[in-house]
């Protein structure tokens, strides 16, 4: 799932002088320079990118048009994604490496979509552009136009959730993780969506917690430890109590407890029985950084489903309840309420 910069450099050196092609084994490189509020990803790409990398526009190629009903980054249609992937040079049997400049949090969206639409060999460059340049490796300027590929999009390669599925997981049928920053989860601030807060019952697990100080993924052991603290263990780790068994329900109630001074709120952690082999779902603001969380879970041996509409869809639906943490307590409001609403 991950590839180190040195490994990728050696791979490219072995296949130097050949075009990205599954017959030669040359990986297709995709540059997904994007972050919330960033509008100059293409310019950054042209100023310097991995040799041979093709730029991917997250807003137009990794998402369908935004709408309140579907969210800010709905999944693209199979036909639209197939056209984009072919333009990038992706073939039916291509090896693909995706990267960005933000620890893989946007590149993971391309990783997830390629897997969802049926491509098996997709990896994220661990540490992204910084890891590449840290080794003194060269960048290329300008725009790369790839020879069109013959990729065929077949949706269904990764599990997805709709709003009802997400609500059911959060209500005790499994575990629902909120990958946004803690202050957005708590309802203290909301920079882009119409309502501050989180899906009732969801647990806070900011995507940044998957990375070390160099923007690289934590190793498998540390990722497993991180998710175990949230009550999540790999399905093959042995039996543990499922939803509704033992103290699991009580642990969720404890998540609304008082917030100790100088510490994260217990509402952002699940301290209770580990839930092995049950459903795990992830959402964020619009289904982008949640893909990174799913990649981290996969690295830890835990399969997880994406809620593509995420908070941008949920918070626009007046029938959905919203939870906030106020004074260390959990408060649940209807989305239509003006309370805690920010624009």
Could you tell me the CATH number of the domain that includes residue 47?
A: 3.40.250.10
- Average per-residue pLDDT in the chain? 84
Place of tokens 């041996």: 301
Q: Are residues 106 and 182 in the same domain?
A: no
Q: Are residues 167 and 311 in the same domain?
A: yes
Secondary structure of 159-171 as H, E, C letters:
CECCHHHHHHHHH
Q: Are residues 238 and 323 in the same domain?
A: yes
Q: Cβ-count burial of 288 within 10 angstroms (0-12 exposed, 13-18 middle, 19+ buried)?
A: buried
Q: Which two tokens stand for residue 133?
A: 């340049």
Last residue of a domain, one of 134, 154, 178: 134
CA distance 246 to 32: 44
Examine the pLDDT at 337 and tell me if it is beyond 90.
no
Sign of CA dihedral 311, 313, 316, 322: negative
Is residue 152 included in any domain, yes or no?
no
Q: Are residues 117 and 167 in the same domain?
A: no
Q: Are residues 190 and 263 in the same domain?
A: yes
Is residue 297 included in any domain, yes or no?
yes
Examine the pLDDT at 317 and tell me if it is beyond 50.
yes
pLDDT above 90 covers a percentage of the chain that reads: 75
**Domain of 215, in residue numbers:** 163-334
Q: Are residues 85 and 200 in the same domain?
A: no
Q: Are residues 207 and 283 in the same domain?
A: yes
Write down the pLDDT at residue 25.
73
CA distance 302 to 278: 10
Examine the pLDDT at 308 and tell me if it is beyond 90.
yes
Is residue 154 included in any domain, yes or no?
no
Terminal Cα distance for the chain, rounded: 37
Residue 339 to residues 118, 173, 186, 201, 343: CA-CA distances in angstroms?
43, 29, 14, 19, 12
pTM of this structure: 0.83
Is residue 110 included in any domain, yes or no?
yes
| Residues with a known catalytic role | 284
Contact indicator for 211, 314 with CB cutoff of 8 Å: no
More confident residue, 68 or 257: 68
Is residue 267 included in any domain, yes or no?
yes
Write down the pLDDT at residue 255.
40
Q: Are residues 35 and 83 in the same domain?
A: yes
Q: Which two tokens stand for residue 182?
A: 């803690």
Last residue of a domain, one of 115, 134, 153: 134
CA distance 195 to 336: 9
pLDDT digits (tens, 9 = 90+) for 47-82: 999 999 999 999 999 999 999 999 999 999 999 999
Contact indicator for 324, 256 with CB cutoff of 8 Å: no
Examine the pLDDT at 7 and tell me if it is beyond 60.
yes
Last residue of a domain, one of 134, 154, 177: 134
Enter the DSSP assignment of 216. P
Q: Are residues 171 and 96 in the same domain?
A: no
CA distance 212 to 104: 12
When divided into structural domains, the chain yields a total of 2
pLDDT digits (tens, 9 = 90+) for 195-253: 999 999 999 999 999 999 999 999 999 999 999 999 999 988 754 333 333 333 333 43
CA distance 165 to 167: 5
Q: Are residues 37 and 179 in the same domain?
A: no
Contact indicator for 150, 85 with CB cutoff of 8 Å: no
More confident residue, 18 or 189: 189
CA distance 196 to 282: 18
Is residue 259 included in any domain, yes or no?
yes
Q: Are residues 106 and 172 in the same domain?
A: no
Q: Which two tokens stand for residue 228?
A: 């175990």
Enter the DSSP assignment of 170. I
Is residue 182 included in any domain, yes or no?
yes
Tell me the Ramachandran region of residue 79: left when phi exceeds 0, alpha when psi lies from -120 to 50, beta otherwise.
alpha
* Interior/surface letters 72-109, b for 16+ CB within 10 angstroms, e for the rest: bbbbbebeebbebbbbbbbbeebbbbbbbbbbbbbbbb
Write down the pLDDT at residue 15.
52
Is residue 155 included in any domain, yes or no?
no
Task: Specify the range with the lowest mean pLDDT, choosing from 5-19, 33-47, 73-87, 207-221.
Answer: 5-19
CA distance 118 to 124: 16
Q: Are residues 122 and 270 in the same domain?
A: no
Q: Which contiguous run of DSSP H or E holds residue 115?
A: helix 107-116
């Amino acid at each position: 799932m991950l590839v180190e910069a040195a490994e990728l450099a050696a791979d490219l050196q072995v296949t130097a002088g050949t075009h990205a092609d599954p017959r030669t084994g040359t990986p297709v490189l995709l540059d997904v320079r994007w972050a919330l509020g960033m509008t100059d990803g293409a310019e950054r790409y042209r100023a310097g990118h991995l040799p041979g990398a093709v730029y991917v526009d997250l807003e137009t190629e990794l998402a369908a048009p935004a709408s309140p009903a579907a969210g800010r980054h709905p999944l693209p249609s199979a036909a639209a994604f197939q056209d984009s992937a072919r333009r990038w040079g992706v073939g039916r049997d291509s090896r693909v490496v995706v990267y960005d400049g933000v620890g893989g949090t946007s590149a993971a969206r391309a990783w997830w979509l390629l897997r969802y639409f049926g491509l098996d060999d997709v990896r994220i460059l661990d540490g992204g552009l910084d890891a590449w340049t840290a080794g003194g490796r060269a960048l290329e300027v300008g725009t790369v136009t790839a020879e069109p590929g013959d990729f065929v999009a077949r949706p269904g390669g990764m599990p997805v959730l709709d709003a009802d599925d997400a609500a059911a997981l959060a209500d005790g049928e499994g575990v629902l993780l909120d990958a946004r920053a803690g202050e957005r989860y708590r309802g203290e601030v909301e920079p882009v969506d119409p309502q501050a807060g989180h899906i009732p019952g969801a647990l806070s697990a900011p995507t940044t917690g998957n990375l070390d100080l160099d923007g690289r993924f934590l190793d498998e052991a540390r990722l497993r430890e991180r998710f175990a603290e949230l009550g999540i263990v790999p399905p093959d780790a042995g039996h543990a109590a499922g939803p509704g068994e033992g103290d699991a329900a009580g642990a969720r109630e404890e998540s609304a407890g008082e917030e100790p001074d100088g510490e994260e709120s217990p509402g952002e952690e699940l301290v209770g029985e580990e839930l092995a082999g049950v459903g795990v779902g992830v959402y964020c603001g619009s289904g982008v950084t949640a893909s990174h969380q799913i990649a981290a879970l996969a690295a830890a041996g835990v399969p997880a489903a994406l809620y593509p509409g995420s908070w941008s869809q949920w918070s626009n639906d007046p029938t959905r309840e919203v939870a906030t943490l106020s004074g260390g307590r959990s408060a649940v409001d209807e989305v239509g309420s003006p309370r805690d609403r920010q624009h």
